[in-house]
């Protein structure tokens, strides 16, 4: 049984085979926007400073 592959996926696979230099550009873009070093202390402080939200914030107090 063959797995479904969209036309877009096929296009991108073929295009990347024809343009292997784009792999490096793809890595650079990912590093620029996504692969950031994480500061564990900042993450911990952000988690501790969250304020509990009411289940339905727009309900009037009666």
The 3-class secondary structure across 1-62, one letter per residue, is CCCCCCHHHHHHHHHHHHCCCHHHHHHHHHHHHCCCCCCHHHHHHHHHCCCCCCCCCCCCCC
Confidence bin at 34 (pLDDT 50/70/90): confident
Domain-embedded: residue 58: no
Domain-embedded: residue 44: yes
Domain count for the chain: 1
Domain-embedded: residue 57: no
pTM, 2 dp: 0.47
How large is the average pLDDT for residues 34-56?
A: 88
Could you tell me the two tokens for 19? 């343009």
39 φ/ψ angles, rounded to the nearest 5 degrees: -95, 110
Confidence bin at 13 (pLDDT 50/70/90): very high
- 14-33, pLDDT tens digit by residue? 999 999 999 999 999 888 88
d(CA 45, CA 10): 44
For the chain, the residue count is 62
What is the pLDDT at residue 62?
Answer: 59
pLDDT at 2 over 80: no
- Residue 18's domain spans which residues? 7-49
């Amino acid at each position: 049984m063959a797995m479904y592959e969209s036309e877009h996926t096929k296009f991108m696979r073929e295009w990347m085979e024809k343009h292997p230099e784009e792999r490096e550009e793809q890595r650079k873009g990912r590093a620029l926007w996504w692969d950031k070093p994480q500061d564990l202390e900042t993450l911990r402080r952000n988690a501790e400073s969250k304020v509990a939200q009411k289940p339905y914030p727009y309900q009037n107090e009666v």
